[in-house]
């Protein structure tokens, strides 16, 4: 016969052994030990119900304050850490605990286990165990180190982020209010403010001053144990909208992209469910929590793989238990979101397959190994293009097709069919034209994520290279030129600072277009279709152009060494440079010439040489 308190808490009662004295649990917690036959155990309020009660109290408080009436006082509630091994802890009742909601479908809304069960730092923010009081209706000013940010600037930056940036993250739901966000995760709060301030006209210096401080916060949060989910969300934002950097060696997005996937798998986001197997304590089984984790994992996959792909490094493909067509994924992810995940994973797996089975074959075997892979993959992407739910989804499919077709430039010109080059050129300007349509609708140049811009790099370099090849007379050069110039202007609007990497990219693209020496080897031969290195995978043709720019405009020598005759070169060359015999060819042999071991600062130093710099101490070091 258990007492009512022990029955309510579902705890073993020793009343029979202690009668007529109270049971040991009631004595410890200081409550009356009562036995009643009529007692019926009552269900505790769910987290959603508790959150609804809390929201209602907040609205009453705001309404009372705005009407000048007496404010509704909301008592501060301290949520103690629950311990299932301690019966006394379970007896504490917290009917108005403002726990984090789980019913939101937005990654930026909070999702945490119930306060009545142990909370693992592997899964949730520590704020769920902290003292929480009712927030004011008005946004509070905040400071980061010595930088003071007004409430007005915070509100405007949050509004810019919500209205213009969140559309590129296929999530539904609402954004946390600034005060709440700052309380839950300072890193996420300052990241949102920084992203919103990138194009904040009322204070254009805010992003310049705030950027280095946010980057420092991200570095400190990388090894912090909590709050993991909110840290992952902040990293995803920094991958998509990084703080301004002057050179590629200052770009931390590839590092963050890898960290995102590692953090996500460490807490079990890749496994459908609540991650109980990856926690040290019991985790709440609320279905809304499962949904939040599933959405966050899908976003981790998409953003990380895109960043790594446009960086020209091998993408990371981590098997998960969701599946593209699973009922569980379909229940909480939009069709556009599922489509983007399918395209991203397909592109990543194809890149890895090319790298492992074709890329480093001997020159005379490369075409035989490479062509079937590219043909099959592009055909599949063409099929997916027809099923694109949105125009932005179609842009990603076209970019994936062009990325795979660029591997053809690793072959000898004689092994590349003219039809393939024509298709690449048409695909390049179609991709750019679609991007400009999206830009006109969404102001994508100002607010779009970085990987959209880097996908356009492949398109403009394709137009540049093929326009200088012997096949140029068969191309729509005027349409290609319009697309090329559109991307130059796009970069100018995408840039945050007048001396950041994207502002300089617009100048580099202009220099490459007007140059008469680009793709010209030491013997005078112009071969725009040869890519001198395979190290950057599908982005190699882009980085190779950066080296061509560096040779002509940066005063650097050719690090690839073009003093080797390619014995396998076919005499049937493009006639862009007529009058040259095959014996005069002075091209690099991709298979025989070792690629120099280039360090990051050395490789990207040319982006910082002889460029004017802002006269501000913003903490971004130059290499």
**Would the pLDDT of 519 be above 80?**
yes
Cβ neighbours around 248 below 10 Å, total? 20
Of 193, 196, 272, 259, nearest in space to 228 by CA = 259
pLDDT, mean of residues 193-206? 96
pLDDT of residue 14: 86
Instruction: Give me the pLDDT at residue 67, please.
Output: 52
Lowest mean pLDDT among 46-55, 119-128, 216-225, 320-329: 119-128
Respond yes or no on whether the N-terminal peptide bond of residue 20 is cis (omega within 30° of 0): yes
- Average pLDDT of span 132-139: 56
Model confidence at 137, in pLDDT bands (50, 70, 90)? low
Determine the average pLDDT of the residues in 301-323: 93
Residue 99 confidence (pLDDT): 34
Nearest partner of 157 among 195, 204, 103, judged by Cα: 195
Flag the least confident range among 161-165, 236-240, 304-308, 595-599: 595-599
| Over residues 483-492, mean pLDDT | 97
- R_g over Cα of the chain: 29
Average pLDDT estimate for 153-167? 95
| Alpha carbon distances (Å) from 320 to 356, 563, 564 | 22, 48, 47
Mean pLDDT computed over 555-576: 53
DSSP-assigned letter for residue 22: P
* 147-179 residues labelled b (16+ CB within 10 A) or e (exposed): eebeeebbbbbbebbeebbbebbbbebebbebb
Which residues have a Cβ under 8 Å from the Cβ of 565 and sit 6 or more positions away? Answer: 585, 586, 587, 589
Long-range contacts of range 367-376, CB-CB < 8 Å, 24 or more positions apart?
367/411, 367/412, 367/415, 370/407, 370/408, 370/410, 370/411, 374/404, 374/405, 374/407, 374/408
Q: At 586, phi and psi to the nearest 5?
A: -130, 60
pLDDT band at 62 (very low <50, low <70, confident <90, very high): low
Whole-number percent of the chain with pLDDT over 70: 74
Q: Which residues, listed in sequence order, are joined to residue 149 by a DSSP beta bridge?
A: 142
Structure confidence at residue 142 as a pLDDT band (50, 70, 90): very high
**Residue 454 pLDDT exceeds 80:** yes
At 559 the pLDDT is 85
pLDDT value at 612 more than 50 = no
Mean pLDDT of 24-52: 78
84: CB partners within 8 A, 6+ apart? 90, 117, 118, 281, 282
Other CB atoms within a 10 A radius of the CB of residue 577 amount to: 17
Query: What are the start-end ranges of the H helices in 113-168?
Result: 151-160
Mean pLDDT of the chain: 79
User: Phi and psi (nearest 5°) for 23?
Assistant: -65, 160
Residue tagged 């492949």 (tokens): 458
Say yes or no to pLDDT of 90 above 70.
no
Residue 50 — pLDDT band, cuts 50, 70, 90?
confident
| pLDDT(529) > 50 | yes
Tokens for 490, please give them. 């796009």
CA distance 401 to 559: 30
Asked if 461 and 405 count as a contact pair (C-beta separation under 8 A), the reply is no
Note the pLDDT of residue 584: 30
The token pair at 486 is 């559109």
Give the dihedral of Cα atoms 146, 148, 149, 150; nearest 10 deg.
Answer: 170
378: closest CA among 404, 407, 352, 396? 404
User: Beta strand 131-132 with 77-78: parallel, antiparallel or unpaired?
Assistant: antiparallel
Tell me which of 204-208, 212-216, 332-336 is least confident.
Answer: 332-336
Residues 6+ apart with CB under 8 A from 217: 144, 186, 187, 190, 191
Query: Which of the two residues, 187 and 557, has the higher pLDDT score?
Result: 187
- Of 77-91, 104-118, 223-237, where does the model show the most confidence? 223-237
**Region 36-64 average pLDDT:** 71
Sorted by sequence, the CB contacts under 8 Å of residue 243 that are 6+ apart come out as 194, 207, 210, 211, 212, 214, 215
pLDDT more than 90, % of the chain: 53
- For position 326, what pLDDT does the model report? 57
pLDDT digits (tens, 9 = 90+) for 330-388: 767 888 988 999 999 999 999 999 999 999 999 999 999 999 999 999 999 999 999 99
**Any idea which of 66-80, 189-203, 399-413 has the lowest mean pLDDT?**
66-80
- Read off the pLDDT band of 53 (50, 70, 90): confident
Q: Give the model's confidence band at 475: pLDDT under 50 very low, under 70 low, under 90 confident, else very high.
A: very high
Token digits for 253? 């997005």
Which three-class secondary structure state does DSSP give residue 463? helix
> Mean of the pLDDT values across residues 493-507?
93
Q: Which two tokens stand for residue 238?
A: 């920094």
Confidence at residue 12, expressed as pLDDT on a 0 to 100 scale: 85
pLDDT band, very low/low/confident/very high, at 28 (cuts 50, 70, 90): confident
* Residue scoring higher pLDDT (475 or 76): 475
Q: Which two tokens stand for residue 91?
A: 């007896």
Enclosing H/E stretch for 279: none
**Higher pLDDT residue, 111 or 349?**
349
CB-CB neighbours of 556 under 10 Å: 15
Q: Rounded mean pLDDT of 285-311?
A: 90
pLDDT greater at residue 141 or residue 1: 141
Kind and range of the H or E element at 47?
A: helix 47-66
Task: Say if residue 233's pLDDT is above 60.
Answer: yes
Report pLDDT for 232.
94
Question: Pick the residue with more confidence: 215 or 57?
Answer: 215
Contact 366, 410 (CB under 8 A): yes
Taking only the tens place, the pLDDT of each residue in 395-442 is 999 999 999 999 999 999 999 999 999 999 999 999 999 999 999 999
CA distances from 113 to 169, 262, 283, 290, 423 (A): 24, 22, 6, 11, 52
Does 611 have pLDDT greater than 60? no
What are the Cα distances from residue 474, in Å, to 264, 303, 412, 478? 49, 37, 20, 12
pLDDT number for residue 170: 62
């Amino acid at each position: 016969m258990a007492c009512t308190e022990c029955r309510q808490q579902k705890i073993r009662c020793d009343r029979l052994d202690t009668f007529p004295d109270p049971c040991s649990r009631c004595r410890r917690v200081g409550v009356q030990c009562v036995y009643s036959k009529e007692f019926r155990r009552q269900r505790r309020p769910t987290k959603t119900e508790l959150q609804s009660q809390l929201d209602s109290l907040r609205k009453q408080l705001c309404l009372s304050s705005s009407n000048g009436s007496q404010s509704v006082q909301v008592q501060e509630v301290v949520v103690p850490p629950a311990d299932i091994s301690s019966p006394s802890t379970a007896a504490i009742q917290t009917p108005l605990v403002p726990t984090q909601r789980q019913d939101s479908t937005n990654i930026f809304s909070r999702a945490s286990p119930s306060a009545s069960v142990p909370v693992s730092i592997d899964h949730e923010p520590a704020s769920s165990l902290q003292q929480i009081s009712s927030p004011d209706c008005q946004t509070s000013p905040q400071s980061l180190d010595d930088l003071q940010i007004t409430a007005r600037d915070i509100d405007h930056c949050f509004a810019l982020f919500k209205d213009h940036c969140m559309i590129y993250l296929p999530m539904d739901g609402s954004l946390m209010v600034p005060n709440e966000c700052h309380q839950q995760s300072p890193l996420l709060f300052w990241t949102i403010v920084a992203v919103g301030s990138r194009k904040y006209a009322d204070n254009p210096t805010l992003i310049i001053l705030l950027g280095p401080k946010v980057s420092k916060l991200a570095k400190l949060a990388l090894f912090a144990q909590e709050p993991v989910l909110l840290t992952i969300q902040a990293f995803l934002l920094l991958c998509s909208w990084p703080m301004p950097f002057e050179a590629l060696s200052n770009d931390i997005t590839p590092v963050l992209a890898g960290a995102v996937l590692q953090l996500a798998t460490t807490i079990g986001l890749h496994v459908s469910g609540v991650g109980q197997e990856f926690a040290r304590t019991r985790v709440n089984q609320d279905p809304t929590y499962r949904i939040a984790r599933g959405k966050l994992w899908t976003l981790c996959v998409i953003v990380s793989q895109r960043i790594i792909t446009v960086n020209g490094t091998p993408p990371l493909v981590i098997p998960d238990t969701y599946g593209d067509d699973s009922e569980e994924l379909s229940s909480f992810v939009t069709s556009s979101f599922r489509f983007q995940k399918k395209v991203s994973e397909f592109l990543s797996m194809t890149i890895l397959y090319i790298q492992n089975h074709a890329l480093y074959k001997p020159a005379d075997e490369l075409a035989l190994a490479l062509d079937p892979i590219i043909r099959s993959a592009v055909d599949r992407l063409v099929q997916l293009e027809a099923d694109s739910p949105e125009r932005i989804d179609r842009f990603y499919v076209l970019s994936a097709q062009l990325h795979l077709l660029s591997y053809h430039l690793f072959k000898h010109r004689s092994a590349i069919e003219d039809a393939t080059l024509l298709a690449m050129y048409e695909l390049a300007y179609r991709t750019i034209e679609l991007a400009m349509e999206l830009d006109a609708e969404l102001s994508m140049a100002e607010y779009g994520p970085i990987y959209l811009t880097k996908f356009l790099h492949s398109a403009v370099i394709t137009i540049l290279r093929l326009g200088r090849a012997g096949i140029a007379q068969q191309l729509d050069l005027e349409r290609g030129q319009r697309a090329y110039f559109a991307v130059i202007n796009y970069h100018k609007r995408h840039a945050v600072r007048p001396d950041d990497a994207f502002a300089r990219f617009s100048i580099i693209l202009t220099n490459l277009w007007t140059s008469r020496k680009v793709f010209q080897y030491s013997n005078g031969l112009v071969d725009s279709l040869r890519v001198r290195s395979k190290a950057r995978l599908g982005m190699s043709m882009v980085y190779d152009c950066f080296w061509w720019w560096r040779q002509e405009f940066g005063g650097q020598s050719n690090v690839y060494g073009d003093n080797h005759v390619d014995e396998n070169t076919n005499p049937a060359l493009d006639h862009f440079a007529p009058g040259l015999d095959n014996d005069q060819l002075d091209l690099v042999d991709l298979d025989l010439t070792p690629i120099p071991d280039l360090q990051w600062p050395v490789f990207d130093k040319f982006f910082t040489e002889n460029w004017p710099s802002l006269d501000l101490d913003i903490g971004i070091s130059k290499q």
